[in-house]
Amino acid sequence: MNGPPEYGVWWALSALAGLFGGYLGAYMAQKGENKAIHEDIEKLVDQVKAVTQATKEIEAQISSDLWNRQRKLEVKKEALFRSTKDLSALHDSLSSLSSAYKAAHESGAPNTPEWLVMKKQALESYHKASVTFSESQLVSELVCDLEVRRTMTQIGWLLQTIADDIASNNNFARFTNSLAEIRKDMEAARVAMRKELGIDA
């Protein structure tokens, strides 16, 4: 290269500046790209945290709802089990009431003190069973749907009507004559209870 030495120095400096500028530009571009990637990762981490938190909240809600449904089902089971047991006891006490009045009638002396005591005891036993059934029926009405309440009320009313007829009119045959109707109403109550518990009838 011909010319004053200053031109060589300028040329060298220009070349060096060009190389440094190119390197610096590439470095800054790479740094900018790294920063953008870092920001994207931070955003992704934040999104994952938000999704994780939302998932935990949903799981907690599902768990709470499931527990509430399970608890309600347990309460229904307990109420219906008690109602079923008390209904069976009421039916048995009505059968005993009918038998006591029938035996007293067939004795030929139904109004002797011993038969009066026997009929009184049978009637008291029925009344006790009736009160117990009414209490369990009230519990069922609080936690069960209309169909269970309707069928339990129907069978309770039928048994009470029969008991009143036996005690007031000495119509002990009313019980045996009503067995088909009793079975029909008890079956309706059973179907309603199974439906309430989600069991196929």
Please report the DSSP string for 120-179 in residue order. HHHHHHHHHHHHHHHHHHHHHHHHS-HHHHHHHHHHHHHHHHHHHHHHHH--THHHHHTH
- Between 136 and 70, the higher pLDDT residue: 136
Give the model's pLDDT for residue 4: 58
pLDDT (0 to 100) of residue 139: 87
Tell if the pTM clears 0.75, that is, is over it: no
Q: State both tokens at 147.
A: 């169909």
In the chain, the domains with their CATH numbers are 74-196 (1.20.120)
The amino acid at 183: R
Predicted pLDDT at 174 = 95
Rounded to the nearest 10°, the torsion over CA 190, 195, 196, 197 is 90
Q: Is the pLDDT of residue 175 over 90?
A: yes
Contact 90, 137 (CB under 8 A): no
Compute the average pLDDT of residues 55-81: 74
C-alpha span between 163 and 179 (Å, rounded): 13
Confidence of residue 94 (pLDDT cuts 50, 70, 90): very high
